[in-house]
Amino acid sequence: MQISPSILAADFANLERELARIAEADWAHIDVMDGHFVPNLTLGLPVLERLAQISPVPLDAHLMIEDADRWAPDYAEAGASSVTFHVEAATDPVATARAIRAAGARASIALKPGTPFEPYADLLDEVDMVLVMTVEPGFGGQSFMTDQLPKITQVREAVAARGGQIWIQVDGGISQDTIGQCAQAGADVFVAGSAVYGAQDAAAAVQTLRELAGRHTHGQE
């Protein structure tokens, strides 16, 4: 069970310090938004490249941007260890995933809440992770969408049928109240923003989330 705190909930004036607060996490989740694919605008390549140089944990880049085919490999080259792009923004997801891997990062596809998984099931041969969004992408602090739990299970079952090691990530409204449901549905990588950065002790919050997820592993009660 891996925890990937989202720096979208961090203090942007002190990102080096904020990354140090999550040194016990597995990843630092970097939300890249372009103001087009989603209405919000966050940070891009130069900032991620610098964060990769000082982060105590590997960077998990989530690209909520148009023209993912063009830009996704650059984020791997800039230092992200995992690069996630939205299938809705890619015209050639196979080539994009291969380019990310060729640049030395893990490749991942993301699905918005309204996007079904079935049309993209064949992409499992090309990716290392599938991100099921549990809120509409664009802003932090939104409420968890329980209607996405069956999609998580659907992806988990497809991964199990295929064999191999593909992670399933969830992002949006993940907290101590919701992480167990996601783990039970089949997720094993959890993006949490305010649940970690809103806590007095971010390291303790990471550990609590990890333990809660571990108690609800898929297939166990």
**CATH number of the domain bearing residue 191:** 3.20.20.70
Evaluate if residue 220 carries a pLDDT over 80: no
Contacts of 28 (CB under 8 A, 6+ apart): 4, 5, 7, 19, 22, 51, 55, 57, 58, 59, 60
pLDDT at 221: 46
How far is residue 21's CA from residue 3's CA, in Å, rounded to a whole number?
13
Kindly report which listed range (59-68, 138-147, 158-167) carries the lowest average pLDDT score.
138-147
What pTM, to 2 d.p., does this model score?
0.96
pLDDT at 164: 78
Within-domain flag for 19: yes
Out of 34, 74, 171, 188, which one is annotated catalytic?
A: 171
Evaluate if residue 147 carries a pLDDT over 60: yes
pLDDT at 122: 96
The structure tokens listed for 18 are 């904020």
Within-domain flag for 220: no
For the stretch 187-209, pLDDT in tens is 999 999 999 999 999 999 999 99
93-102 vs 68-77: helix crossing angle, rounded to 10: 10
Positive or negative torsion for Cα 96, 51, 136, 175: positive
Parent domain of 124: 2-215
Within-domain flag for 43: yes
Within-domain flag for 141: yes
Within-domain flag for 221: no
Residue 69 among the catalytic residues: no
One-character DSSP codes across 202-216: HHHHHHHHHHHHHHT
Identify the burial level of 75 via C-beta atoms within 10 angstroms of its C-beta, where 0-12 means exposed, 13-18 middle and 19 or more buried. Answer: buried
Within-domain flag for 84: yes
Within-domain flag for 71: yes
pLDDT at 219: 65
The mean pLDDT value for 119-137 works out to: 96
For the stretch 20-74, pLDDT in tens is 999 999 999 999 999 999 999 999 999 999 999 999 999 999 999 999 999 999 9
Mean predicted lDDT score pLDDT of the chain:
96
How far is residue 146's CA from residue 134's CA, in Å, rounded to a whole number?
7
Residue 188 among the catalytic residues: no
For the stretch 3-28, pLDDT in tens is 999 999 999 999 999 999 999 999 99
Contacts of 160 (CB under 8 A, 6+ apart): none
68-77 vs 45-54: helix crossing angle, rounded to 10: 30
Out of 31, 34, 60, 128, which one is annotated catalytic?
A: 31
| Total domains in the fold of the chain | 1
